[in-house]
Amino acid sequence: MAERYSSFEVGGRRWLWQRITAAFLVAVLAFHFFLLHFVNHADEVTFAMSQARMQELTYFSLMILFLLTATFHGVNGVYNALVNQGISGTRKTAVKAVLGVASAVLIVQGVRTALAWAGGVPI
């Protein structure tokens, strides 16, 4: 039987979620770059322009979902890269904890910023 090379656990769902978020991010990251560099130019950015976009519920919710999926995909990717390098035991547990805390901080900070632009959830 062939040796198994994957960094993911057998039967785990993280492999699938890494692919699902990848498919979503391919489209949203391309949209993000296009909108903020080609439609709007980066050097013309102002708080008011960002605020106008964020006050639209569709855009606001897309950006929150973008933050959540990018954080999961990025942090899960880092974790798998480290597992692939052979970390195990206490180091693996410590890495998992540090990455978990870093993700939580990033998401909280990102959501706070989005809310500051939108002036609350734009419902």
Partner 1 sequence: MSQSYDRGLVEDFGRWREFSAGMWAWIFHKFTGWVLVGYLFTHIAVLSTALQSPEAYTTTIQSLEGLLVVRILEVGLLAVAVFHILNGLRLLFVDLGLGLGSQDRSFYASLLLTGAIVVASVPTFLAGVFG
In order of 14, 49, 74, 78, 112, the CA distances from 21 in angstroms are 10, 28, 10, 15, 22
Whose Cβ is closer to partner 1: residue 51's or residue 61's? Answer: 51
Whose Cβ is closer to partner 1: residue 55's or residue 113's? Answer: 113
Closest distance between partner 1 and the C-beta of residue 101, in Å?
Answer: 13
Closest distance between partner 1 and the C-beta of residue 78, in Å?
Answer: 6
Token duo for residue 80: 């798998």
Closest distance between partner 1 and the C-beta of residue 38, in Å?
Answer: 6
Q: Residue 72: which of 37, 7, 39, 64 has the closest Cα?
A: 64
* CA gap 89, 79 in Å, rounded: 14
The residues that touch partner 1, with contacts defined as CB under 8 A, are 1-3, 5, 19, 22-23, 25-26, 29-30, 33, 37-38, 41-43, 45-48, 50-51, 67, 70-71, 74-75, 77-78, 81, 102, 106, 109-110, 112-113, 116-117
